[in-house]
């Protein structure tokens, strides 16, 4: 690496175009929204910067506070499921034979490259009352009904399909479906580089597999878990079309409110404040992760 002063012309040739783009088409828009979050609405789309905190305070009204809380619950629940399922999956991949490993990894990564919207739509088709989950359930129900019928009992008059869609459970399932690969990859990376002899030593000293997991494996791989939590939780918190397509009337998340403020309610300052609440949460999560990852000195782009 050399000092930029040695070749100032080359330096500017390299740095100006991306910097221009980044500043004008990313930081200016963000700053604009930040400014909006302290503005007051004057007419249909006119706003005035008055450095008011009203927009943020409005976010603390019970109705929005409840949505905020629900967003955290849904996103948090989905993140937890990703973590709990992600660990065994990451384990299985890390301990798979060399022949299987790349294929299992590919299978985990591939859905990530399929459009998230299409995947959400695909989920609708299997979850709805006339979808495959209910078909399988109906077959089971019919078979079970025939079995109990043999002893003169009945499970009921007729099959009642499960309501798998348009509720909070569907939203959580949708988030898990969308972001699961984000959890597995950092977990896998951390388990893969964990020295196996730590686990062997723990077993050798008399600990069982669960004890080994909680006393040795988790403490030595939790940075991967934290990375996974951050990169699942942040986008999950800002999700808006997943609750829109899979949720019911009470499955509104903060993303839906933001979208409404910008797309239909036209209260941009309030939408801006809510979207910056998300940004602050993001910065907090990233700072936390950076703090924990600590003095490893890796730049953001090396991550």
C-alpha 159/C-alpha 145 separation (Å) is: 10
Specify whether the CB–CB gap between 262 and 240 falls below 8 A. Answer: no
Nearer to another protein, 155 or 293 (CB): 293
Cβ 207 to another protein shortest distance, Å: 4
**Which of 100/146 has CB closer to another protein?**
100
Q: Which is nearer to another protein, 152 or 263 (CB)?
A: 263
Of 141 and 241, nearer to another protein (C-beta) is: 241
Nearer CB in complex with another protein: 152/297: 297
CB of 192 to another protein, least distance (A): 12
Q: Nearer to another protein by C-beta: 34 or 141?
A: 34
Q: How far is the CB of 255 from another protein (least distance, A)?
A: 5
**Distance of closest approach, residue 298 Cβ to another protein, in angstroms:** 10
Least distance (Å) between residue 6 CB and another protein: 9
Contacts of 167 (CB under 8 A, 6+ apart): 247, 248, 251
- Please give the Cα distance from 275 to 278 (Å, whole number): 5
CA distances from 160 to 123, 130, 152, 153, 169 (A): 20, 11, 20, 17, 18
- In the 3-class helix/strand/coil scheme, how is 212-275 assigned residue by residue? HHHHHHHHHHHHHHHHHHHHHHHHHHCCCHHHHHHCCCCCCCHHHHHHHHHHCCCCHHHHHHHH
Residue 229's nearest CA partner among 90, 89, 86 is: 86
* Least distance between another protein and beta carbon 157 (Å): 23
Among 171, 192, 182, CA closest to 111: 182
Residues in the chain: 303
Please state, in angstroms and rounded to a whole number, the distance separating the CA atoms of residues 197 and 174. Answer: 38
Helix H or strand E encompassing 258: helix 254-263
Nearer to another protein, 154 or 197 (CB): 197
Could you tell me the smallest distance in angstroms from the CB atom of residue 153 to another protein? 30
């Amino acid at each position: 690496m050399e000092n930029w002063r040695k070749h100032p012309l080359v330096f500017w040739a390299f740095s100006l175009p991306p910097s221009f783009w980044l500043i004008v088409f990313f930081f200016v828009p963000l700053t604009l929204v930040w400014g909006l979050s302290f503005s007051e609405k004057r007419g249909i789309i006119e706003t005035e910067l008055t450095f008011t905190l009203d927009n943020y305070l409005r976010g603390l009204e019970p109705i929005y506070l409840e949505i905020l809380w629900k967003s955290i619950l849904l996103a948090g629940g989905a993140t937890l499921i990703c973590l709990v399922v992600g660990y065994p999956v990451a384990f299985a991949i890390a301990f798979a034979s060399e022949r299987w490993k790349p294929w299992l990894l590919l299978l985990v990564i591939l859905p990530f490259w399929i459009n998230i919207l299409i995947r959400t739509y695909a989920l609708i088709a299997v979850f709805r009352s006339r979808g495959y989950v209910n078909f399988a359930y109906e077959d089971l129900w019919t078979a079970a009904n025939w079995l109990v019928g043999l002893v003169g009992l009945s499970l009921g008059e007729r099959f009642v399909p499960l309501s798998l869609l348009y509720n909070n459970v569907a939203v959580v399932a949708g988030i898990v479906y969308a972001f699961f690969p984000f959890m597995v990859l950092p977990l896998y990376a951390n388990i893969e580089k964990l020295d196996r002899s730590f686990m062997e030593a723990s077993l050798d000293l008399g600990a069982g597999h669960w004890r080994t997991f909680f006393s040795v494996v988790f403490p030595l791989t939790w940075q991967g878990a934290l990375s996974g939590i951050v990169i699942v939780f942040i986008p999950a918190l800002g999700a808006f079309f997943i609750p829109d397509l899979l949720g019911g009337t009470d499955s509104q998340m903060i993303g839906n409110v933001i979208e409404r403020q910008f797309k239909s309610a036209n209260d941009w300052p309030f939408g801006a404040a809510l979207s910056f609440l998300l940004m602050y949460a993001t910065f907090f999560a990233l700072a936390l992760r950076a703090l924990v990852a600590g003095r490893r000195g890796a730049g953001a782009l090396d991550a």
